[in-house]
Amino acid sequence: MRSVWGVFVLLALIGGGLGVPPPVRAHEAVSVEEEFVKGVFSPAFTPPAAGSYELPAVKRVPGVILKDLTGRSASTRRVTAGKVAVVSFIYTACPERLGCPLASRALQDLQAKLKEEGLERNTMLLSISFDPERDTPAQLAKYARIYGADPKLWRFMTAPSERALDHALEGYGQDRAPVYDERGRFTGRYRHVLKVFLLDPAGYIRNVYSAGFLVPDLVLNDIKTVLGEGAPREVVKR
């Protein structure tokens, strides 16, 4: 029973529909009541206590060279090394209310909880854009300010090329497909399933959150669970 919760959450991945065409600028942050379906931040269930369950390791993700907000190249593995990391894939023009805005709003709330718990030195939040053409370091910096990201705790990165981005997407198992109109023109939108990844200090995926399970209190307890157990003890074949 100790591992049932972790496996259940790993299997609970859901898709998202397409919304309206994307705005030219990054979204403005909105209230929890406006942004999320009822129950996301106040679940009907009580998340299990940290350390009362196991989160088996799934696979180790590769290190990918991306650009940070200063335009400098950095390895994702170096950014997250030695810390429990929560990694999201986003694009700043995403119009899907239960897509990228949900992930960023949840990480904003999680950032506050990590500081309240004094865990900021042991954790890292990382948002990676899968729209490298439009999400320049300057655009991501604007987006980070909208969500109040602390650069010491919450990092944003973009890919220097489609090849580097594809390497990251494949390594994590994150889907992304451009959406075209009836004339074959790119609409500026991407079809994708919301996934947020929990990594242990060795770079192994320990959980994957879909929209229905991206609850900051649950993620916080998962972080505490991984921090309390050290290196991964089991790798689940997928």
For the chain, give the secondary structure using H, E and C: CCCHHHHHHHHCCCCCCCCCCCCCCCCCCCCHHHHCCCCCCCCCCCCCCCCCCCCCECCECCCCEEECCCCCEEEHHHHHCCCEEEEEEECCCCCCCCCHHHHHHHHHHHHHHHHHCCCCCCEEEEEEECCCCCCCHHHHHHHHHHCCCCCCCEEEEECCCHHHHHHHHHHHCCCCEEEECCCCCEEEEEECCCCEEEECCCCEEEEEECHHHCCHHHHHHHHHHHHCCCCCCCECCC
Which residues fall within 8 angstroms of residue 220, CB to CB, at 6 or more apart? 50, 110, 113, 114, 117
Least confident of 153-162, 212-221, 225-234: 225-234
- pLDDT of residue 35 exceeding 50, the answer is no
Highest mean pLDDT among 30-34, 73-77, 180-184, 231-235: 73-77
Structure tokens at 89: 């894939």
Compute, in degrees rounded to 10, the torsion defined by CA atoms 50, 54, 55, 57: 140
Domain count, the chain: 1
Dist CA 161 CA 168 (whole Å): 11
State the average pLDDT over residues 73-81.
95
Q: What is the pLDDT of residues 80-131, one digit of tens each?
A: 999 999 999 999 999 888 889 999 999 999 999 999 999 999 999 999 999 9
Q: Confirm whether 146 is domain-assigned.
A: yes
Residue 219 placed within a domain: yes
Does residue 237 belong to any structural domain of this protein? no
What value does the mean pLDDT take over residues 3-30?
A: 41
CATH number at residue 216: 3.40.30.10
The pTM assigned to this predicted structure is 0.79
What pLDDT is stored for residue 96 in this prediction? 84
| Pairwise CA distance, residues 7 & 234, whole Å | 13
Question: What mean pLDDT do residues 5-30 have?
Answer: 40
Predicted pLDDT at 175:
87
Whether 132 is covered by a domain: the verdict is yes
Phi first, then psi: give them for residue 177, nearest 5 degrees. Answer: -135, 125
Q: Domain range holding 148?
A: 4-17+27-176+185-227
Q: Say which residues have a Cβ less than 8 Å from residue 60's Cβ, sequence separation at least 6.
A: 202, 203, 204, 205
- 8 Å CB contact between 208 and 197: yes
Q: How far apart are CA 122 and CA 38, in angstroms?
A: 31
Give domain status of residue 232, yes or no: no
Q: Model confidence at 170, in pLDDT bands (50, 70, 90)? A: very high
47, part of any domain: yes
Report percent pLDDT > 70 for the chain: 77
Task: Report yes or no on 235 lying in a domain.
Answer: no
